[in-house]
Structure formats: structure tokens, C-alpha cells
Structure 1
């Protein structure tokens, strides 16, 4: 029952946070369209102004205060580092710098409260509860950073795996007679994953007036994958010096495939070292219990004279 109550409290806290962060204010054209759609519902808007929902009355001010406190705690340069982490993580839907800062504060406050409530129901000592609450606050404050770091590592691994195939398709398209922009469009349309998303963003930036070199450099800046940065550098130099892009793409495709095979071999060589920890901590003790358990019991009976 105590565990069920603690889970209910934690689920309620997560639901409150979700309600606080679920609704975003529309910007630009979406905001204008929403205003036109609401033009025939002025009466309902007046009712909402008189009696705003719970999220606007309670959770929105709490979120604003958490954002202010998060800016004070993180410092002036933290926003740029968070923006960099969001770029490396692929800019998850709904995640902004302000939202991450407010989430850090809210998790640092709510998680210790839930832990203290659960520890008090179990009857823990005050010293233990204080230590656990401090650890929970630190974990809650660092939780969004850990999530973004894990998301960045997973995205970088996906880019390493799919970049060679994307460059192969880009090479085939260019050698078939398409221009570089049309070949990039083919890659973005016929593939999926982080590489396709990055190529789609490159096309959108070029349509907005950014030069090809600047769009490719921006794509390289949004990733920490060495193979992608090397590919971007080669494309920028080929565009600057007038080198045939098909030849450069053919060389880059071959090099990226070699690096991908080397990366796979490196990961395979790390498996014996990584499997040693669960082997020693979990598998071998169980094996010793099964193999040595009967012998130990027989020895105990023999010493007791049974």
C-alpha cells in the first residue's frame, strides 16, 4: 500500500508537470490562424478570462517562478550550452531553453517531496531522509541534462550508422545527372532518421536565402559526429574551389564506409569488457549458489553430526 501510494504521488506530480508544459503559445502564422478561428467564440473567451483554467491560474505562475530561479542558478552562459545540447539532441518537439530551465527547478522541488513523503510513511530516520532528499534534488536538477545527453548520444550513433547509405544515395543521384540540391532532396525524401532531417533542414534554409556553404556549415555545427563534419568540410571546399561534386562524393562515400566498419569493430571489441561487470556481479554469484550450495549444506550437516 505504501509503495502504491508513493507511485500515485509521483504520477500526480508528473501529470501536473505535463499539464504545465503541454500547452505552448502559437507563434507567427499559427497564432494568426488561431485568432481567426476564435473570432466566432468571443463569448467563450470572455468566460475563459473570468474563470481561467487551473493550468493558467496555478501552474503557469509556478512555471514562471521556476524559470526565473533556474536562470539565476544556471548562470548567463548556461543558455548557450543548453541550446547547444538541444541542437545535438535534434531539438525534441516542445523542448526549449526556458522549458529545460524550468523543468530542472520543478523536478528538483517535486522529486524530494515525493521521496520524503514515501520515506516518512516507511518510518525512516530524519538524517537518512535529509540525505535522500538532497540526492533526489540533485538528481531532479540534473535529470533534463542527463536526458538530453542520452538523446544526443543516441542521435549521434544513428547518424554514424545511416550517413554512409545517405551519401551513397546522394552520389548515385548526382552521377545520374541531378544537381546537388535535387540530390539532397531525394535523400531527404527517400530516407528517414536524423540524417534525412538534417538534409531537409539544409534545403529549407537554402530556400529561405542561406547559401549552400552556410547551410552545410550549420548542419555540421548541429552535430558532433566527426564523419558528418568531414563530409560537410569536403562539400564546402568543393563548392568553393569548383571541384566536381560527383568525384568528391564518391571518395567521401568510400571513406565513410571504412570508418563505419572500424567503428563497428571498435564497439565489438568493447563487448567483453562491458559484459564483465554484470558477469561478476550477477551471473557468477548465482552460479556459485547453484553449484556450491548443496556441498555447503552437506558440510554443515556433517559438522553438526546429522
Structure 2
């Protein structure tokens, strides 16, 4: 493969600049499209980095609320929105994305552990740049591999499909982050439940018990600690405890946590003993986990059938049949 070369073709008053890399030739228009793609990729990477930094700011805000409950009542100056949030807010204001779709995106952000309405605007900006970037990348692949040369309608359909896939790519990333976070929450909820039972039996109030659980799990399971810290902060600034518990279940999206929330709501509304209700939830949760483990163990023989037939049985037949085949060939070679 030859190295890159630059050619300049003057043609009257116009001039054509062509860059050749092997069999690929790029005109000045192609170079402009690639430059736009590179700029869009850089802006998308910067925007995703901003989203990651904002999650750290959310955790620091929870620490401030934990130390100073009256922090929210202090007058604050309205900050200027960053450019990526302004662009996302503009996209949301155009009503290209409906209110229901925006609510779903907010729920996806909450499930992934990213909180705040400003993050919705940042997500819309990331989706926009991802869709813009996917079009020149798809065109570059088509030109590089010489796919559908001359078929303009097929190429246009593929470019539109690439834009749609680019628009959906951040949603796929969010769903994976949410699934990973949900797994970590399910892992840490039994420990949180045991700590709640211990705190309730020790005589702590519900507010102090939730705060103690958030402190105790901060190093072992930060996701559960963050959710309980958010709930404790809501309980300090609001008198509606049941609403704070419902928000906890909605943010986490874990089925086992809904039982804990139901027990907490029952204890707050009817004054039932908290430790007894939590112990009943813990017993039910352990039973459900044992049932799930038994179901997984029952599926193992079915799942192992194909690997056994594909890998184990051929090897076993070779080990058993090779000596027999050698003896038969030896007997045939010797003759009667």
C-alpha cells in the first residue's frame, strides 16, 4: 500500500485538491466532511465527559446536604448554562422529542445513576452529535469498501439508517449502565436490610437508621449508599416520608427494594414495629433468592447439553475409538 499523496488540479478559475491514500481518493469536499466528523466526535467525547463529571458534583452536593440541612434554603445565584446544556435545551424546546419521550429519557438517566434535569439536555446534545457523526462515518465506510457504487438510493437509505442508529446509541449505553447499576443494587440491598434491622432494634429512629446505613455502605456498595443518602436528604427537607420512599423505589428500579419501601411506608402510616416488618421482608427476600438459585440450577442440564455434544462427545469418541481403529487396521494388515 502506497503512502498518502496530495495532488492539485487547477481548472480555469476553480481548483481541485485531492488526497490519495492507497486506493481511496478524497476531494476537498470529502476532506470538509471528514473534518466535520472529527469535530463532532471531539464534541461528543467532551459532552460525555461533562456528564461523568456532573455525577461527581451530585455526590458532593449530597455530602453538603448531609452536613448542612439548611443549605438548600440559602439564596444562590443562577449559574449560566454550559453550551452543551443550552444546545440540548434548544432541541427539547423544538418539540422534536415529545414530553413522554423526555420522561422516558429522564427515567433512563435516573436508572443509570445520573440525576438532574440539566443532564437531560446534555444527553440530547450527545444524541444529536452521535447522529451527526454516524452519517460521515457510514459514508466513509461505503467509499472505502466500494459498497453500492452508483446506487444512490441505497446509499441514502444506509446513511439515514446510520443517523437513526447514532441517535439510539446513547440510549443503548444508558441501558447498559442502568443494568450494571441495578445488579450492584441487588447485591447490596440484603446488607442494607440487615443494617436497617440492626439499627431499628438498637432504638434508632427511621431517619437516623437510613443515614447510618448510607454511611456504613459508602465503601462496600456506593450505589446503595447514594440512594439511601438521597432518601435521607429528601426526608430532611420534606415532611412527606412516603413520597421519599416511593422516590427511592422509582430511582432504583429494583423489585426487592419495593418490599423494603412497602414495609417502611407501613411502619410510618400505621405505627407498626419497624424491626418486625423488616425481618419479614428479609425472610421473604431470602426465600425468593433461594427460588431463583434453584431455577438457575435446574436450567444447567439443559444448557450443558449442546456443549457436551459439541466438545466432550467428539473427544470421548476419539479417545475410545482410536485404539480400536488401530487394532482393526493392524489385523487387516497382517491378513488371515
TM-score normalised by structure 1 residue count: 0.68
Counterpart in the other structure of 1:125: 148
Gaps of 5+ in 1: 36-55, 292-306
CA separation in 1, counterparts of 2:75 and 2:137?
38
CA separation in 1, counterparts of 2:86 and 2:208?
45
Counterpart in the other structure of 1:240: 269
Q: Which one of 251, 273, 282 corresponds to residue 280 of structure 2?
A: 251
1:131: Cα distance to partner? 4.7
Deviation sequence 1:114-135 (CA, Å, 0-9, x none): 1212331333224464454333
Q: Which one of 207, 232, 236 corresponds to residue 207 of structure 1?
A: 236
1:187: Cα distance to partner? 1.1
Q: Give the root-mean-square deviation of aligned CA atoms.
A: 4.2
Counterpart in the other structure of 1:15: 42
1:165: Cα distance to partner? 1.4
CA separation in 2, counterparts of 1:120 and 1:274?
43
Gaps of 5+ in 2: 2-20, 25-33, 62-71, 319-336
SS at match of 2:187: helix
CA separation in 2, counterparts of 1:62 and 1:93?
12
Larger-gyration structure (1/2) = 2
Q: Which one of 100, 103, 108 corresponds to residue 85 of structure 1?
A: 108
Q: How many residues are paired up? A: 258
The residue correspondences of 1:56-67 to structure 2 (distance < 5 A) are 60=83, 64=87, 67=90
The residue correspondences of 1:153-164 to structure 2 (distance < 5 A) are 153-164=179-190
The residue correspondences of 1:1-306 to structure 2 (distance < 5 A) are 13-20=40-47, 22=49, 60=83, 64=87, 67-68=90-91, 71-91=94-114, 96-126=119-149, 127=151, 129-191=155-217, 192-269=221-298
Q: Is the 8 A contact 1:159 1:225 kept in 2?
A: yes
CA separation in 2, counterparts of 1:224 and 1:96?
19
Q: Alpha carbons of 1:11 and 1:61: their partners in 2 closer, same or farther (altered >3 Å)? A: closer
1:240: Cα distance to partner? 0.6
Q: Which has the higher strand share?
A: 2
